[in-house]
Amino acid sequence: MQRKIEVCLTPALLDLYAIEESIVVVIDILRATSSIVYGIDNGAEAIIPVAQVEDCLSYKDHGYLLAAERNGEVVEGYDFGNSPFSYTSEKVAGKTVVLTTTNGTKALHLARERAAQVVIGAFLNLDSLCNWLKDQDKNVLLLCAGWKDQFNLEDTLFAGAVVNRLRASFVHFDDSSVASEDLYVLARQDLRAYLSKSSHSHRLAALNIEQDVQFCLQLNVCKAIPVLKGERLLAL
Amino acid sequence: MQRKIEVCLTPALLDLYAIEESIVVVIDILRATSSIVYGIDNGAEAIIPVAQVEDCLSYKDHGYLLAAERNGEVVEGYDFGNSPFSYTSEKVAGKTVVLTTTNGTKALHLARERAAQVVIGAFLNLDSLCNWLKDQDKNVLLLCAGWKDQFNLEDTLFAGAVVNRLRASFVHFDDSSVASEDLYVLARQDLRAYLSKSSHSHRLAALNIEQDVQFCLQLNVCKAIPVLKGERLLAL
């Protein structure tokens, strides 16, 4: 099989792609998919992504941890938001976390309607994810969650990192794969410095989550590849 | 006014942008907007972009030249398609051309529904366009026509060239502006070589329009800035 890799730069473009036979990698680097990877790697039994803050509440009496973030801040009354530092083994090992986020959950839900398989990517599990993708006999779509359906730099850079590592194993690349890879190669020496050019970065700075940003840009801290089974993200 | 420049990477994302007070630059480098710039520069009285091949036909008995292209090829029975070599002064001076194309017309029609002003950009009129944009007291949205609503490299590179030239005159840049400019800077030494990485380029090679591609990648061959007035593109 001459495998194809494509990058969907925002969920608003997902309808353009045939993904019924593809593995879709959902990417929301700041911070949903980074936290999911870290949480599963730290032994969370499952993470359940939900679309609305209100949906979280219906899980409240089942002993689940509830995580809700809107516009980058923890929603009042919830256990935590989507800072990766909330997903340490002390907090999540053996637990199920119900998570709602601004962009990541939306991308996940769109992808699962049609994709053959949905997995979670972040810089934290880059090599582990890429090694696994290499061994599957499937096309890959890298789905950037973006910011409110708009293109963002950090998700695109991660998509480019995946393309860069998979180049030798795939034959067909779309234009957004080419662009993403080139941006990643340009930025990889210092991802944080590169992202300081981003409008999103200014927004995040205002939220005082610089530690989170630094954490999410680390490569290969985790081995886990979260995969969607029904409504749950589990370790592959 | 602290002006903002944004890049809309495909027409499918245009709804995300507030453009009611903005100048929208429509970009379809291969080949619609390159041919429009060249045609207006060569003295065409007007170019009328229409959405459907059938729409062209209603203009047939008005002495207009009819240009129709679908999937990169001239439609049978039409005067020409959208190769820039059809838009020489010998052919178009003093004439009105009715043009339908795969992606460019669609982007134009979407933009004119809401934008304060719609103009046409191509490498052929890059500096002329940028000098004019600098002098307007308006935000700018660079609208890439893309390929069937997907991202493409050549339109993005041109958007990046505009961002690069306007950087000192604008204050706010979105993430897609940053990415486009960086890709342009990476590619500008040899745009043609860079585009050979594009999937679109393989498609164009199959259509045997290498001469057109080379032509469309020339900088500053034209001074004209086509502007949309009603349904017509005219010299500004």
| Mean pLDDT per 10-residue segment, chain B (236 residues) | 95 97 96 96 95 80 84 81 91 94 86 96 98 97 95 97 97 96 98 86 71 95 97 96
| A176: phi then psi, degrees, rounded to nearest 5 | -70, -25
Residues of B in contact with A172 (CB under 8 A): 199
Q: Which residue of B has its CA nearest to A198?
A: B175
Lowest-confidence segment of A52-61, A85-94, B218-227 by average pLDDT: A52-61
pLDDT at B63: 84
Find out whether B38 and B177 touch, Cβ atoms under 8 Å. no
The β-bridge relationship of strands B65-70 and B96-100 is parallel
The ranges assigned to domains in chain B are 4-235
Is residue A214 pLDDT above 90, yes or no?
yes
Amino acid identity, residue B203? R
Q: How many Cβ pairs within 8 Å bridge chains A and B?
A: 78
Residues facing A118 on adjacent strands? A24
Please, which pLDDT band fits residue A50 given cuts at 50, 70 and 90? confident
Taking only the tens place, the pLDDT of each residue in A125-146 is 999 999 999 999 999 999 999 9
Instruction: Please give the Cα distance from B210 to B94 (Å, whole number).
Output: 28
Please, which pLDDT band fits residue A120 given cuts at 50, 70 and 90? very high
Cβ distance of B12 and A12 shorter than 8 Å:
yes
pLDDT at A112: 94
pLDDT at B73: 76
| A172: phi then psi, degrees, rounded to nearest 5 | -110, 135
Find out whether A226 and A236 touch, Cβ atoms under 8 Å. yes
A96-100, strands of its sheet edge to edge:
A73-74, A65-70, A96-100, A46-49, A232-235, A226-229, A117-121, A23-27, A140-144, A4-8, A172-173
Residues facing B117 on adjacent strands? B23
**Residue A188 contacts B where some CB pair is shorter than 8 Å:** no
pLDDT at B105: 84
Q: Which residue of A has its CA nearest to B201?
A: A175
Is residue A68 pLDDT above 90, yes or no?
no
pLDDT at B143: 98
Please, which pLDDT band fits residue A16 given cuts at 50, 70 and 90? very high
Is residue A198 pLDDT above 70, yes or no?
yes
Instruction: Please give the Cα distance from A158 to A195 (Å, whole number).
Output: 12
Please, which pLDDT band fits residue A123 given cuts at 50, 70 and 90? very high
Domain A4-228 -> CATH class: alpha beta
pLDDT at A113: 94
pLDDT at A57: 77
**Residue B139 contacts A where some CB pair is shorter than 8 Å:** no
Cβ distance of B150 and A13 shorter than 8 Å:
yes
Cβ distance of B179 and A156 shorter than 8 Å:
yes
pLDDT at B51: 78
Task: Among 3.40.50.720, 3.40.50.300, 3.90.1150.10, 3.90.1560.10, name the CATH number for the domain at B4-235.
Answer: 3.90.1560.10
Percent of chain A with pLDDT over 70: 95
Instruction: Please give the Cα distance from A220 to A107 (Å, whole number).
Output: 23
Please, which pLDDT band fits residue A56 given cuts at 50, 70 and 90? confident
Residues of B in contact with A175 (CB under 8 A): 147, 150-153, 156, 198-200
Please, which pLDDT band fits residue A204 given cuts at 50, 70 and 90? low
Across chain A, mean pLDDT equals 92
pLDDT at A200: 66
pLDDT at A170: 96
